[in-house]
Each structure stands twice: as structure tokens, then as C-alpha cells.
Amino acid sequence: MSSFPRPAAPGDNALTVPRPDNGPHTAGRYRPVSSYLAIAPPVSVVIPAMNEAENLPYVFKTLPDWIHEVVLVDGNSTDATVRVARELWPDVKVVGQRGKGKGDALISGFAACTGDIIVMIDADGSADGQEIVSYVSALVSGADFAKGSRFANGGGTDDMTPIRKLGNFVLCTVVNAKFGARYTDLCYGYNAFWRHCLDRITLDCTGFEVETLMNIRVVKAGLKVQEIPSHEYDRIHGVSNLRAVRDGLRVLRVILRERGVPRAARRRTRAVRPALPLPLAVHTGLTGPGVRQGEVS
């Protein structure tokens, strides 16, 4: 399915898009995602949740109506999480989590997705679903992985304590030095990527460290990463299962376990990487709100 962007036009569902490789290509149905952009690739949103019934109304009301599907991974909730999700989004796909931990939940959710683009978002109301358009814009402009950042220009956080900010900064610095990345944020759960990326990275952890593992392995796989400024709000109801020291140590173990990328290999990777295919993005003004142009890995 074509991933070329075009300006959104009310009432248009199909378009013959000139392709530089083999001539005209008739795309499938285009979904208008903003006043200036329509896309063909279906978008799946994965939401891991455990006892988040009170927060889901705030999460679902920010999700755009053009997304292809919502996959809710239920971590054996004892409240009305599943019922509320079905009331809010009747077509929601509910996946029962068999194991434990956020990493396990995301792996289960990714496996259930049918969209070409996968967005991962938390269920506590801290993320704004309206930012999804910025992530999708980056992907259809040529990125493989759109990585949310609270510390990129235009991002922010209401939720992080000083000790968590310090820990995130230190861990991010270590990852940049060891793997040749240029990240401004490391431990953030709002990301989007083409589904084919899952064929290039192996996810084999079960906890909150899954976000760090993904960020490391997309760099090691030579995928194009673009940071998206994002604002993290306070959790609305309930208490997070995140524990700064415990989970910080788990993140550190992941970083130490992964083999680093030699400097020579980083230079070779950058030298052979093709340029971002952006001509159509430039013509259509594809620079959605919050999208920071430029590659970070």
C-alpha cells in the first residue's frame, strides 16, 4: 500500500499517485488526517491497560476518528476497563494479556495489529491522542520510527519528578554514547512505527524497559528515526506501577546487555543510508504541528 502523502480533499477516497519508480499507481482509500494531509496506510493504536477504567474516557476522546483500529491489551483488570473501552469504542479489539508487565502487553498488542502503522500510547491519560497526526506525518515522510520526546524543542512533561528527569538524562546520555544515537529522551512510551520494523528488532523483555530496548534496537538496525516533540500530562486517576529505582535499574541492565555499535560501523551506516524520500512532503507542506524535521539516528 502506498505511503505517499497528499493534501486532504473532502470527499476524496482514492487518488492516482505518480510514482517515480514504475509510473502511476492507484492507491486505496485515503483517510483525511488533517486539513492538509490524507494517507492510505491504516493506523493501529495499541493501548496497554490494567485497571484504567476511570482514565480511558480521557484517552479515547483524544483519539482521531480516522485511525483504523484500537487494540486494548487488558492486563487482567479487576475493574470495568474492558467494558468501558467497548462502550467508548465499540469496534475496539481487546487482547487478554497472558503474562505480566508493559513489555509483555505491548508485544501481545503488536501481534494483534493489522495496520501498516502502529502507534503505542499509555492508558493513564498522560498522552494526547491528537499528537498522533505528527507521528504519522513523520512516518509517511520517510521515517521508519517516530519517537516521542518530552525534551525536544516543543515538548514537555508535567509528570516527571526531578530524580526521574535526572535518571532519564543519564541513561539517555549513555545510550547516545554507546550506540551512536542522538536522542533527547529515552524512557517515554509514546511512539509510532511502520509494522515492518518489528521484523528488524527483537522484543524480548517484559517490563517498562521495553521502550529503551526498542530505542536501542532501531538504532542498531539502521532504521531512520525522527523525534516528535510531545507533552506528557499528569496521570488523571490512580497510581502508576512505575518505580523509579527498580525500573531504572532494569533499563540500565538492558543498556549494559546490548552490544554497542563501533564508531566505524556508525560512519558506514550513515554513509550508505539513502536520503529521506521527501519531495511529495515538501510539495504538500507536510510539517504537521510538533514535527521536528531531521533525523536523530
Could you read off the pLDDT of 213-234 as tens digits, one per residue? 999 999 999 999 999 999 999 8
**Are β-strands 31-34 and 37-39 bridged in parallel, bridged antiparallel, or unpaired?**
antiparallel
CA dist., res. 286 & res. 291, Å (int): 9
Q: How far apart are the first and last CA of the chain?
A: 26
Length of the chain: 297
pLDDT at 261: 67
pLDDT at 56: 97
pLDDT at 266: 56
Mean pLDDT across the chain, nearest whole number? 81
To 10 degrees, what angle do helices 244-257 and 210-220 make? 20
User: What H or E segment, with its residue span, contains residue 93?
Assistant: strand 93-96
Question: What stretches in the chain show pLDDT beneath 50?
Answer: 1-27, 267-296
Number of C-beta neighbours around residue 91 at 10 A = 8
